[in-house]
Amino acid sequence: MPADPDGNLWVIEYGSVAKVSTAGVMTLYPLLTGGGWVAIAPGPDGNIWFSENNTIGYVTPSGIVTELPGTTFSSMIFLNGIVTGPDGALWLTAGFTSNLGRLTTTGQLTNTYALSKGSGPNFNTLGPDGAVWFTESLANSIGRIGVTGAVTSYSIPTQRIGTGKMALAICISTNSPFVRKVNQPFERRTDRWERRH
């Protein structure tokens, strides 16, 4: 849940973006496409950016919502993660097409980067090394992409095949990325955090 310069928190949900004050006052801003609910992050331009499966949008601190044309992301299906990179651009993951994208704050998708077919990239974060780190849920791996586009994947020791375990979300601590692993099926779900060295 990102915060804006005024200290408000922002939440993405299906059909709207919500601004929440620290006093708990919530203001809803409807999305034009009725999408939303995937990921949300502060942008380098002071706006709050979010993913909507097949498009990307942003909302200004005053609540003006803009959703980019879906045709911009025709090569990226099922957009998941979004994070500001060290280069002042937004970095995206697309689970169905197994690729990453670099988006400028003017709405231009300048590059896409192919991953292993079927790897299913999910969520991402900016690492302490200045690279963007992401989970590859269906490959049970985590990946790293630098601003030059060089991609490296690291397998997680726990076997996914037959166990239903997958790397889902990733965040950073003060000195290394953390990965959230989930056991499926969800009826018998157990969560744990594993530190990646």
DSSP 107-129: S-EEEEEE-STT--EEEEEE-TT
Give the closest residue to 11 by CA, choosing from 69, 192, 25.
25
Q: pTM for the full model?
A: 0.83
Q: Check if the beta carbon of residue 113 is closer than 8 Å to that of residue 119.
A: no
Residue 15 gets the label, from left (phi > 0), alpha (psi -120 to 50) or beta, of left
Give the Cα separation of 84 and 71 in Å (integer): 22
Reported confidence tier of residue 112, pLDDT bands at 50, 70, 90: very high
Q: What radius of gyration, in Å, describes the C-alpha atoms of the chain?
A: 16
Domains belonging to the chain, first-starting first, are 1-53 (no CATH), 68-195 (2.130.10.10)
The predicted pLDDT at position 1 comes to 61
Starting at the earlier edge strand, list the strands of the sheet with 99-103.
79-84, 90-94, 99-103, 109-114
Q: In terms of Cα–Cα distance, which of 32, 31, 64, 34 is closest to 47? A: 64
Instruction: Determine the 3-state secondary structure of 29 from DSSP.
Output: strand
Please tell me the predicted confidence (pLDDT) of residue 28.
Answer: 94
Under the banding of pLDDT at 50, 70 and 90, the label for residue 122 is very high
What is the band of 121 on the pLDDT scale with cuts at 50, 70, 90? Answer: very high
